């Protein structure tokens, strides 16, 4: 489900049964839980599974009236109802997971019971996200209702509009909403998430709009997926110099050819590909004259682009990750048929 759908589900489910929220790193699980607790007027108490030992939950023994009993930790033992958020629960050690059993199902540790009106919510990453995650014991799995969260641009944009996100970040993701989130790589490198875009926004606010190109590339490269970082740097150049794709399509400007503008060329190539996907119909016979004229112009632009960068030219017509074409078949056929003639005409 999307972040916007989560509060309603929690309102109906978390008040009666514990919920476990699965999701990739950086998509806002923790913030969503804290915001939900605040909407109910509940304090949110966070326990991070990777930072706990079993005795941190069970407490320490104390003598009372000649008998020993375990005194639960102060963070848990509260008089007023609250939201107990068990973050990184499935990353905790097996003995810590076991210590949570009674707290999650029975809302009790030793003689202490959570106040009426309290809610228990857990969250964690998936093993497929290359994050720290341990197998969750079946007894623990069966004690919670499980929900899978995914990043959604529309939800993020609604939040970002009032969160002071930098205009460059807002503008770029409005054009490339598919780059809000990227699957975590198998190697140790940065990757794009709502959290990393927020970090980049904060860094840009700190530097100000006169941040240098090299610093901008450093900041983007330190927070985003490499391809997204290059494209974002190119986008900022467009914003600064009003150098847009429309001017190239009209013929008022050419593809940027300077070696220093390679990131700009990469972004424009991606924008050109997105424009073709959006504007070209699946069947040529349904295309109005204006679209057929644009397709003719696009073929010539592809030649010019490939002459500057064969990689960028291939990017425009590349298939998707599954190998399926994303551009209409009729256009790809015409490209393969007409490009040699167009290249020869330019050479002459």
User: Can you give the pLDDT at residue 201?
Assistant: 97
Q: Tell me how far apart the alpha carbons of residues 227 and 209 are, in angstroms, rounded to a whole number.
A: 22
- Per-10-residue mean pLDDT for the chain, 348 residues long? 94 93 92 94 92 77 70 84 93 87 85 91 83 79 94 94 93 92 89 96 93 94 95 87 77 85 84 89 85 90 89 89 88 80 54
User: Can you give the pLDDT at residue 220?
Assistant: 97
77 alpha carbon, distance to own chain's centre: 35
User: Can you give the pLDDT at residue 60?
Assistant: 65
Task: Give tens-digit pLDDT for 13-22.
Answer: 998 999 999 9
Q: Tell me how far apart the alpha carbons of residues 32 and 34 are, in angstroms, rounded to a whole number.
A: 6
Q: Tell me how far apart the alpha carbons of residues 345 and 253 are, in angstroms, rounded to a whole number.
A: 20
Torsion angle, alpha carbons of 260, 240, 195, 215, to 10? 50
User: Can you give the pLDDT at residue 49?
Assistant: 87
Task: Give tens-digit pLDDT for 221-279.
Answer: 999 999 999 999 988 988 876 667 888 888 888 898 888 788 888 888 888 998 899 88
Q: Tell me how far apart the alpha carbons of residues 2 and 155 are, in angstroms, rounded to a whole number.
A: 7
Q: Tell me how far apart the alpha carbons of residues 133 and 126 are, in angstroms, rounded to a whole number.
A: 6
Bridge partners, residue 145, by sequence: 19
Q: Tell me how far apart the alpha carbons of residues 249 and 243 are, in angstroms, rounded to a whole number.
A: 12
Helix axes 213-221, 226-241, angle to 10 degrees: 150
Model pTM score: 0.72
Task: Give tens-digit pLDDT for 274-314.
Answer: 889 988 988 888 788 888 899 989 999 998 998 889 888 88
User: Can you give the pLDDT at residue 125?
Assistant: 86
How many percent of the chain have pLDDT more than 70? 92
User: Can you give the pLDDT at residue 243?
Assistant: 61
User: Can you give the pLDDT at residue 244?
Assistant: 73
Residue 53: what are its φ and ψ, rounded to 5°? Answer: -110, 160
């Amino acid at each position: 489900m999307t972040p916007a759908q989560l509060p309603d589900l929690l309102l109906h489910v978390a008040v009666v049964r514990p919920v476990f929220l699965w999701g990739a790193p950086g998509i806002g699980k923790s913030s969503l839980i804290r915001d939900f607790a605040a909407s109910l007027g509940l304090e949110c108490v966070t326990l991070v599974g990777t930072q706990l030992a079993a005795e941190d939950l069970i407490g320490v023994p104390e003598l009372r009236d000649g008998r020993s009993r375990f005194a639960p930790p102060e963070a848990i033992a509260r008089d007023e109802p609250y939201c107990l958020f068990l973050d990184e629960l499935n990353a905790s050690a097996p003995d810590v997971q076991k210590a949570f059993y009674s707290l999650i199902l029975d809302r009790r540790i030793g003689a202490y019971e959570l106040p009426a009106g309290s809610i228990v919510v857990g969250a964690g990453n998936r093993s497929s996200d290359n994050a720290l995650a341990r197998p969750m014991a079946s007894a623990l799995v069966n004690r919670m209702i499980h929900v899978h969260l995914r990043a959604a641009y529309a939800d993020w944009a609604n939040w970002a509009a009032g969160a002071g996100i930098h205009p460059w970040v807002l503008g770029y993701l409005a054009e490339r909403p598919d780059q809000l989130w990227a699957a975590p790589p198998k190697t140790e490198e940065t990757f794009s998430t709502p959290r990393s875009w927020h970090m980049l926004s904060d860094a840009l606010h700190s530097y100000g709009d006169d941040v240098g190109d090299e610093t901008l590339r450093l900041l983007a490269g330190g927070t985003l997926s490499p391809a997204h970082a290059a494209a974002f740097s190119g986008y900022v150049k467009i914003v600064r110099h009003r150098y847009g794709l429309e001017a190239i399509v009209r013929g008022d400007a050419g593809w940027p050819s300077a070696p220093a503008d390679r990131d700009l060329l990469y972004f424009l190539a991606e924008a050109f590909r997105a424009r073709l996907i959006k504007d070209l119909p699946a069947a040529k016979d349904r295309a109005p004259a204006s679209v057929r004229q644009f397709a003719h112009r696009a073929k010539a632009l592809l030649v010019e682009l490939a002459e500057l960068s064969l990689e960028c030219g291939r990017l425009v017509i590349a298939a998707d990750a599954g190998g399926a074409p994303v551009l209409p078949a009729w256009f790809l056929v015409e490209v393969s048929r007409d490009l040699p003639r167009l290249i020869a005409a330019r050479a002459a």
